[in-house]
Amino acid sequence: MVITGRVYVPSAVEEDGTVVGMGCFSTQETALNVLRSFLKKSHQVSMQRASVAAWDVDVVGDDAVTVLSEHECRTCPVCHRTTFWLDVERFKAKCYGSACGAWIEESAVESGVIDCGWPPTRFAEQVETIDDAMRSLRRIAARAEAAGLSAIDERFSIEDV
């Protein structure tokens, strides 16, 4: 029996279809960390999607690749930058923008419940739908902006909004 190796490849696709390769790594964890670092800068380049794929060495054809995670880029409902990434396989979304970190995910405790939050203000809420979560995050950002603060201003807390 021949044991084949496996490598992990993070990549992203720009709006014009250009694929940005980020390297080839021996562990999935390293590939995910490289991808996360890249996503933090996604507001600087127009990105559509990103992924991490596992490639089996010395295997021919479609059986050689397994897509482990796939992400789509959206505008963040809080900071309004294109740093909000949705995990297509598991419903999770996170803004990788500095000082934001807004997030949405299915509750690990309650079925049919969506959790969302915005860490700089310690805001967290449970809602019923993904649309409700997006509205909730937009609402907390609007409250911050109405208070005269930028949604990415690090100097305020939930008490200010």
pLDDT in the model for residue 52: 95
Residue-averaged pLDDT of the chain: 86
Tell whether the model's pLDDT for residue 45 goes beyond 90: no
Residues 117, 136: Cα–Cα separation, whole Å: 9
Residues 65, 108: Cα–Cα separation, whole Å: 29
DSSP code, position 142? H
Confidence tier at 72 by pLDDT (50, 70, 90): very high
Residues 136, 11: Cα–Cα separation, whole Å: 31
Q: Where are the domains of the chain?
A: 1-74, 75-161
pLDDT in the model for residue 154: 53
pLDDT in tens, 89-122: 778 899 998 778 999 999 888 888 999 999 988 8
Instruction: Find the mean pLDDT for residues 75-89.
Output: 89
Residues 87, 89: Cα–Cα separation, whole Å: 6
Q: 49: closest CA among 29, 93, 19? A: 19
Does residue 155 or residue 12 have the better pLDDT? 12
Instruction: Of 3-12, 22-31, 120-129, give the lowest mean pLDDT range.
Output: 3-12
Q: Are 70 and 51 in contact (CB under 8 A)?
A: yes
Cβ-in-10-Å burial (0-12, 13-18, 19+) of 136 comes to buried
Residues 55, 64: Cα–Cα separation, whole Å: 5
